[in-house]
């Protein structure tokens, strides 16, 4: 150990210069009365007076925070509860039904559009041989304007001059044959669709949605709120969404 530097002055703090509350409420009176030697006072005990108020302040702040937080409505509490966890079972059940219904519609639309390729070709042939929609009255017994939107065909580009009546009737017969051919193929395709899986999903949704939601919310009234049972999917629904084509008839 090296020699002690005696040139650096040491600052001595007298006990009388310290505030009385520095040593806490228990130690300070004992020192002032001479019952305790200041040199023997434990520093941790002396700081007790400053440290003991901190937990009490923290407790007061926690109580203030609890009292300051407003009570939200029932809807806000439900959203907060659902946000703490993964998607609950009743919500997943509804999403599965919706996604299955969308996939079924998309599959039907894609198959139907592919079957209409030849029919759209017949419509383009008719537009190239006709100078306008009014000419269809000379060949068909009813207007055929609805065939374009029903087959997702682009707007017709009419010819400047019409072809001969014989040519127009030949194209008309091709349109009728193509319409009947599409309707037969589309009807056969719809009959092959198995609606059992999606209807079982709908049945389970109608049976268990409210029950599963009640298990999460703990209230039958809230669980049944806004619930509407779903209808089963039928072939008539698919025919309505993806219809057959009206078959025109030649004028006699």
**What pLDDT does residue 114 have?**
97
Question: Token digits for 214?
Answer: 């009640």
CB-CB contact of 119 with 151 (8 Å):
yes
- Give the C-alpha separation, 153 to 173, whole Å: 19
Select from 163, 156, 159 the least CA-distant residue to 139: 163
Give a yes or no: residue 162 inside a domain: yes
- Helices (H) and strands (E) counted in the chain, each on its own, are 12, 0
pTM of the model: 0.62
**What pLDDT does residue 132 have?**
92
Same domain for 59 and 116, yes or no, is no
Same domain for 118 and 171, yes or no, is yes
Select from 124, 133, 138 the least CA-distant residue to 168: 138
Q: Which residues does the chain have with pLDDT short of 70?
A: 1-86
Select from 47, 18, 48 the least CA-distant residue to 31: 18
Same domain for 162 and 141, yes or no, is yes
**What pLDDT does residue 45 have?**
47
Give a yes or no: residue 8 inside a domain: no
Same domain for 108 and 231, yes or no, is yes
Same domain for 30 and 136, yes or no, is no
Task: Report how many domains make up the chain.
Answer: 2
**What pLDDT does residue 130 have?**
94
Same domain for 82 and 44, yes or no, is no
- Give the C-alpha separation, 216 to 230, whole Å: 21
Could you say which of 26, 50, 68 is where a domain stops?
Answer: 68
**What pLDDT does residue 80 have?**
60
Could you say which of 68, 86, 109 is where a domain stops?
Answer: 68
- Give the C-alpha separation, 99 to 118, whole Å: 31
Domain limits at 174?
Answer: 77-241
Same domain for 226 and 160, yes or no, is yes
Same domain for 170 and 94, yes or no, is yes
Same domain for 28 and 105, yes or no, is no
Same domain for 103 and 41, yes or no, is no
Give a yes or no: residue 249 inside a domain: no
Q: What angle do CA 196, 199, 203 make, to 5 degrees?
A: 130
Q: How many CA atoms lie within 13 A of 144 on its CB side?
A: 31
Give a yes or no: residue 6 inside a domain: no
CA 108, chain centre distance (Å): 24
**What pLDDT does residue 219 have?**
80
Same domain for 134 and 46, yes or no, is no
Could you say which of 34, 68, 102 is where a domain stops?
Answer: 68
**What pLDDT does residue 33 have?**
52
Task: Specify the residue for token string 């092959």.
Answer: 192
Give a yes or no: residue 252 inside a domain: no
Give a yes or no: residue 248 inside a domain: no
Same domain for 93 and 130, yes or no, is yes
CB-CB contact of 248 with 172 (8 Å):
yes
Question: Token digits for 246?
Answer: 């009206």
**What pLDDT does residue 186 have?**
97
Give a yes or no: residue 133 inside a domain: yes
Give a yes or no: residue 10 inside a domain: no
Question: Token digits for 243?
Answer: 């219809």
């Amino acid at each position: 150990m090296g020699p002690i530097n005696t040139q650096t002055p040491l600052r001595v703090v007298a006990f009388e210069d310290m505030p009385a509350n520095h040593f806490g409420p228990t130690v300070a009176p004992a020192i002032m009365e001479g019952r305790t030697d200041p040199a023997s006072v434990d520093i941790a005990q002396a700081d007790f007076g400053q440290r003991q108020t901190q937990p009490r302040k923290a407790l007061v702040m926690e109580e203030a925070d609890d009292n300051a937080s407003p009570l939200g409505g029932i809807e806000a509490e439900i959203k907060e509860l659902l946000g703490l966890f993964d998607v609950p079972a009743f919500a997943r059940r509804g999403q599965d039904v919706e996604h299955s219904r969308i996939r079924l519609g998309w599959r039907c639309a894609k198959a139907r559009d592919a079957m209409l390729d030849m029919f759209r070709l017949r419509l383009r042939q008719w537009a190239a041989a006709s100078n306008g929609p009014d000419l269809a009255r000379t060949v068909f017994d009813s207007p055929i304007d609805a065939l374009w939107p029903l087959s997702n065909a682009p707007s017709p580009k009419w010819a400047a001059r019409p072809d001969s009546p014989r040519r127009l009737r030949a194209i008309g017969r091709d349109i009728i044959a193509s319409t009947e051919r599409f309707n037969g193929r589309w009807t056969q395709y719809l009959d092959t669709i198995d609606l059992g899986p999606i209807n079982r999903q709908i049945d389970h949704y109608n049976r268990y949605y409210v029950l599963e939601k009640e298990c999460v919310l703990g209230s039958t009234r809230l669980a049944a709120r806004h619930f509407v049972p779903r209808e089963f999917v039928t072939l008539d629904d698919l025919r309505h969404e993806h219809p057959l084509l009206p078959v025109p008839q030649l004028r006699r």
